[in-house]
Structure 1
Amino acid sequence: MNPGDRVRVDRTGTTYEGVLLPSTTAEELVVKLDGGYNVGIDRSDASVDVLERDTYDIESGGDADGRSEITFEADLPTVALISTGGTIAST
């Protein structure tokens, strides 16, 4: 089971289905649901079925310290984005 796999997680009578995302802790699974929301699920007493492997190519990103480098091309124009928010818009 790796980030990018499509999974079904059953825990305490509730079933979640979506794409497994990288987690910051070993005790928790993070799943992106089909509706776009992310849900954190405690691994204890959880049953996980992998439905499809490598559904998405997901990188954990960054170096060993979790930092990543962003490069800019000076010859391209600056673009400004205005967002009015919302849970889905913020991801």
Structure 2
Amino acid sequence: MANIKSAAKRAQISERNRLRNKAYKSAVRTLMKNYFEAVTAYQSSPSTEAMQTVQDKMSLAYSKIDRAVKRGVLHRNTGARRKARLAQAIKAIEA
């Protein structure tokens, strides 16, 4: 435990930020997983509805990744790499 008041406050702020960052990273992983599941469903039975679902999931994932990068939770290269993985998954099917 910190002996100095400012150190105790910094520890409290660090914990708050850690939990917030953890929530963002978890949400990004969940949205990416949902997107990859939608891509798999589209691959097994292609239809316009399935493609619309894929596009919606991709949009949500891109949005959350961009927000995480903006807030400093993810490095911008990490965000770019994750978005590239999402784009690559659907591009491989369409080709």
Query: TM-score category by the smaller chain?
Result: under 0.3
**TM-score, with normalisation over the residues of structure 2?**
0.18
Whose radius of gyration is greater, 1 or 2?
2
**TM-score, with normalisation over the residues of structure 1?**
0.19
- Structure with higher helix content: 2
